Amino acid sequence: MTGQSCFAADYAQARDMFCAAARAADAAIESIPHPDPGPSGGVLSCDTAWLGPKTAPHVLVTISGTHGVEGFAGSGAQVDALRRIAGSSLPADVAVLMVHAINPHGFAWARRVTEDNIDLNRNWIDFTAPLPLNKGHDALAPALYPTEWNDAAQAALLAGITDYAAQHGAAAMQAAISGGQYCHPRGIFYGGAKPGWSRRTQTALLTGMLGHAEQVVIIDFHTGLGPRGIGEQIVTVPRSSPQFARASAFFGAAITSTHDGSSSSAVLVGDGLSAAPALLPHAKVTAMALEFGTVPEDQVVAALAADAWLHAHGDPLSPQGRAISANVRRAFYDDSTDWQGMVVCQALLACRQAIAALHRKA
């Protein structure tokens, strides 16, 4: 079985492949239906597969589709792992929970965001407190959010980003665009006004299925940042923290942090990895994003800006809309066999490293 055969053409096929692989691995499967339909009226759901003893004290959790369209890669990695890691081969004290398509709406519609235009990795904040401000994003809004999407708008977007970086630095530019914003509901990297369906679902899954766990490792699969095909291992805690020390011990010295400039990611507001330890206060939680590069960052931002314009002002089913959606997919998923092979190999290695580390910590 080749790694490439693990990748699907669309969400529906990805879900079928995941569930089939889970059944073949004798995993326990649960499905949480999404309230909205897919593009052709099909059913959407987040599906889970549990391998190993239900009471295992040490659990590896893998998550795909946090950012919808990025689920093409994450789903492929999970299907490959299911075909190679059977529950019977796990140590008796280790279990694996795979969460497939936590944002099924974004996956099905080839969007990074949820049905509410929420970036799930900016939604994990306390909405009873004042919302975080992002003045840099506000300054870039005229370039990011044109009323028409054409060559002139794209040129203005590039010029706006370039000028901001020249004035404030590349890191400040990246933080302004992608760090998270709460003032532009139709914009990119929008954190929402309340917890969305995907956040509520993930909260229920982690608290409901891991209440007994003593050690938890979370690997959240992402795409769109960094060099093509390289799986950057990102944590959202400082190097001085116990979680960073555990991640380094589990996965090696290549671990990067959003806190010190070593990561291709900006410091985020409201990401799920940072929120996970509070959901599982009884366990030692080591959370890592495995981020696979695709195309240059300016192309990713342009694809997202076009998608935001499309769903604010355009027609997703028009020829222009279909072209924009196809470009979003290309920005976050490379369907070439070499890139797919890099994804499954690095993802499987990370899963096996986590399982071995969890067993050693028993």
Q: Looking at residue 360, what is its pLDDT? A: 80
Neighbours of 67 (CB within 10 A): 25
Query: pLDDT tens digits for 28-79?
Result: 999 999 999 998 899 999 999 999 999 999 999 999 999 999 999 999 999 9
Average pLDDT, the chain: 95
pLDDT of 331 higher than 90: yes
pLDDT of 196 higher than 90: yes
Decide: 247 and 178 in contact? Cβ < 8 Å: no
Q: Domains for the chain: give ranges and CATH numbers.
A: 3-127+189-294+333-360 (3.40.630.10), 135-178+299-328 (no CATH)
pLDDT of 122 higher than 70: yes
| Angle (nearest 5°) at CA 136 between 130 and 141 | 100
19-26 contacts at long range (C-beta below 8 A, 24 or more positions apart): 19/47, 19/49, 21/49, 21/78, 21/79, 21/82, 21/83, 22/47, 22/49, 22/82, 22/98, 24/82, 24/83, 25/49, 25/51, 25/82, 25/83, 25/85, 25/86, 25/87, 26/51, 26/86, 26/87, 26/88
Indicate if the alpha-carbon torsion angle 148, 149, 152, 154 is positive or negative: positive
Neighbours of 40 (CB within 10 A): 8
pLDDT of 315 higher than 50: yes
Write the DSSP string, 75-134. HHHHHHHHHH--GGGS-TTEEEEEEE-SSHHHHHTT-SS-TTS--GGG--S-TTSPPPP-
Q: Looking at residue 2, what is its pLDDT? A: 44
pLDDT band (50, 70, 90) for residue 13: very high
Structure tokens at 104: 């099924």
The mean pLDDT value for 145-152 works out to 95
The mean pLDDT value for 9-21 works out to 97
In angstroms, rounded to a whole number, what is the distance separating the alpha carbons of residues 243 and 56?
A: 21
Write the DSSP string, 172-230. HHHHHHHS-BSS-TTSTTB--SS--HHHHHHHHHHHHHSTT-SEEEEEEEEEEEEEET-
Q: Looking at residue 89, what is its pLDDT? A: 83
pLDDT of 283 higher than 90: yes
Q: Looking at residue 86, what is its pLDDT? A: 75
Q: Could you tell me which of 189, 152, 208, 195 has the C-alpha nearest to residue 269?
A: 189
Query: pLDDT tens digits for 203-247?
Result: 999 999 999 999 999 999 999 999 999 999 999 999 999 999 999
Q: What percent of the chain has pLDDT over 70?
A: 98
- Residue 211 backbone dihedrals phi, psi, to 5 degrees: -65, -20
Q: Could you tell me which of 51, 63, 71, 55 has the C-alpha nearest to residue 8?
A: 71
pLDDT of 134 higher than 70: yes
Q: Looking at residue 266, what is its pLDDT? A: 84
pLDDT band (50, 70, 90) for residue 3: very low
